[in-house]
Amino acid sequence: MKNAVLLFSLFVLFSCSSNKNEFSVILDIEEVLSETEELRLNKLIKEHERKTTNEIAIITTPNWGDYDNSLDFAVNSGNKLGVGKANKDNGVVIIFSKTLKETRITTGYGTERVLKDELVKQFIDSLMLPHFRKDEFYEGILAGTQAVITHLELPGNEIQ
């Protein structure tokens, strides 16, 4: 329940301070990122959204709150935050939990046509986990985020 309240509070704060034409959110609930690292990730995400309209949220959390697993947490968090344009379902939610030793990349219905589960698993296993095993949390999150962005920006991968 604590996590749900925190997520809601951050959503309200984000909604009040956000430019309505541009989505960018990093919720570092677990506090594994420095302010500079958050700013770098935000810049990367905003630039990607400007190019493609795709929206990406990154959430770090020590637990799944009211949810039983990372999938439910990611899907519900993405829905609550409004990740992805409604007419395109072009959102991506990247979840990381240092405490639970788990990470997940979840896509909207539009995005999943281009960013398949097998590819997402490859990004996590080959790019993110090696960094996480060395306690390089920013580097792992950055590597996964860059891989998602690079793939979504390839010619022919536009979300309709």
Q: Positive or negative, the Cα torsion across 94, 82, 153, 22?
A: negative
Per-residue pLDDT of the chain (160 residues; tens, 9 = 90+): 555 544 544 444 444 334 444 556 899 999 999 999 999 999 999 999 999 999 999 999 999 999 999 999 999 999 999 999 988 899 999 999 999 999 999 999 999 999 999 999 999 999 999 999 999 999 999 999 999 999 999 998 888 7
Kind of pairing, strands 102-107 and 91-97? antiparallel
Domains of the chain and any CATH numbers: 2-152 (3.10.310.50)
